[in-house]
Amino acid sequence: WPVQAELIAEINRLKADRDAVILAHNYMTPDIFHGVGDYVGDSLGLAKEAARSDAKVIVQAGVHFMAETSKILSPDKTVLIPDLRAGCSLAASITGADVRLIKARYPGLPVVTYVNTTADVKAETDICCTSANAVQVVEWAAKEWGVDRVILIPDEFLARNVAAQTTVGIIAWKGRCEVHERFTAADIADMRAAYPGAEILAHPECPEDVLAASDFAGSTAAMTDYVAGRKPKQVVLITECSMASNVAGDVPGVQFIGPCNLCPHMKRITLENIRDCLINMQFEVTVPEDMAERARLAVQRMVDLPP
Ligand code: 13P
Ligand code: SF4
């Protein structure tokens, strides 16, 4: 703890020197989340904050697609990521060329793309979504385009979960989150048997039978709000492991139990490499301006939708 306290103090000093903000995702470890994050939240919240912030430098305490999204929304700012290897299995599942093929196969249908994608995929997109607004975005796109089907890529499970909540037809892709696809309905059944009173919350990137067996499905921010609002005695968060640690800090008395999976990409970000990132101004994330311009339209449309 003394080492972490020193690092936290050093990072907070460096932030002021560099005119930097740290945008930290809910899956960051608690030392980052509670110690140095200026803004913490889900993918949607981080994107909105990137658009709003007037700092010169954004340090993305998250994964690469999040840093690209920040750069797309704030082209004049320097966007840094502490480790360039912080990727995402969903973002790696599809390329811009794939999207062009899908569009050729389904001409006239809008392309809705999860923010967990690279900038070249966003550049082929009509509007982005996150797990917090996917149903709203799909319904908006169907109405705007005057169609009854939309393309929703690349998360197969998110697409199925959205399809269960709307009459709009969904054309999906086969991408998966390597963290959430590993949860099973048997995990939920085991928790129900062991802790009959516990409330079970699952992320929409989980398989559909996991969500069907859970009490609530929502983005990481929606899970936080649910726990903060209802303060259940016992809660199971079917998602990345740091979520429970981070939320627990704000809701004393709630017991967090049950399985979780680590995201190896999120876990590449540490206090040490955040400190180094601010000292050496590394690693800068850039997006070619023509690509960024096309991607910006898709991200900004999402950001501009009413809450
Ligand atoms: P949200 O924070 O938008 O729920 O996304 C979770 C996730 O897996 C981001 O990588
Ligand atoms: Fe990607 Fe899943 Fe990790 Fe989020 S948790 S960054 S979706 S691999």
pLDDT in tens, 134-144: 999 999 999 99
Looking at domain 2-87+267-280, its CATH class is alpha beta
- Ligand 2 and 66: CB distance under 6 A: no
pLDDT at 3: 77
Cα of 116 from ligand 2 centre, angstroms: 8
Q: What is the DSSP string of 264-288?
A: TTGGG--HHHHHHHHHHT--B----
Protein residue closest via CA to atom 3 of ligand 2: 263
Token representation of residue 215: 């009490």
Specify the amino acid at residue 262. Answer: L
Protein residue closest via CA to atom 3 of ligand 1: 43
**Overall average pLDDT of the 124-128 stretch:** 98
Instruction: Report which ligand 2 atom has the smallest distance to the Cα of 239.
Output: 5
Residue 29 backbone dihedrals phi, psi, to 5 degrees: -65, 155
pLDDT at 88: 98
pLDDT digits (tens, 9 = 90+) for 164-219: 999 999 999 999 999 999 999 999 999 999 999 999 999 999 999 999 999 999 99
Half-sphere exposure of 288 (CA within 13 A, CB side): 6
47 or 286: which leads in pLDDT: 286
pLDDT at 244: 96
Token representation of residue 88: 């995402």
Cα of 89 from ligand 2 centre, angstroms: 6
**Overall average pLDDT of the 296-305 stretch:** 95
Strand partners, 217: 202
Coil, strand or helix at 237: strand
pLDDT at position 307 over 90:
no
Domain spans, the chain: 2-87+267-280, 91-176, 185-262
Q: Token pair 């975005």 is at which residue? A: 137
Confidence of residue 52 (pLDDT cuts 50, 70, 90): very high
What DSSP state is assigned to residue 231? -
Q: Token pair 């008395």 is at which residue? A: 253
Q: What is the pTM of this model?
A: 0.96
pLDDT at 1: 65
Question: According to CATH, what is the number of the domain 91-176?
Answer: 3.40.50.10800
Cα of 263 from ligand 2 centre, angstroms: 6
In whole angstroms, what is the distance from residue 164 CA to residue 300 CA? 26
Give every CB contact of residue 59 below 8 A, 6+ residues apart in sequence: 15, 20, 21, 22, 23, 80, 81, 82, 274, 277, 278
**Overall average pLDDT of the 259-287 stretch:** 98
- Ligand 2 and 265: CB distance under 6 A: yes
Identical fold for domains 2-87+267-280 and 91-176, yes or no, is yes
Specify the amino acid at residue 131. Answer: S
pLDDT at 249: 86
Cα of 284 from ligand 1 centre, angstroms: 22
- Ligand 1 and 29: CB distance under 6 A: no
Residue 181 backbone dihedrals phi, psi, to 5 degrees: -70, -15
Give every CB contact of residue 193 below 8 A, 6+ residues apart in sequence: none
Please give the CATH architecture assigned to the domain spanning 185-262.
3-Layer(aba) Sandwich (3.40)
Strand partners, 255: 234
Q: What is the sign of the dihedral through the CA atoms of 106, 112, 115 and 118? A: positive
pLDDT digits (tens, 9 = 90+) for 62-97: 999 999 999 999 999 999 999 999 999 999 999 999
Looking at the chain, the whole-number percentage of residues with pLDDT higher than 90 is 96
Give every CB contact of residue 221 below 8 A, 6+ residues apart in sequence: 26, 41, 42, 44, 45, 132
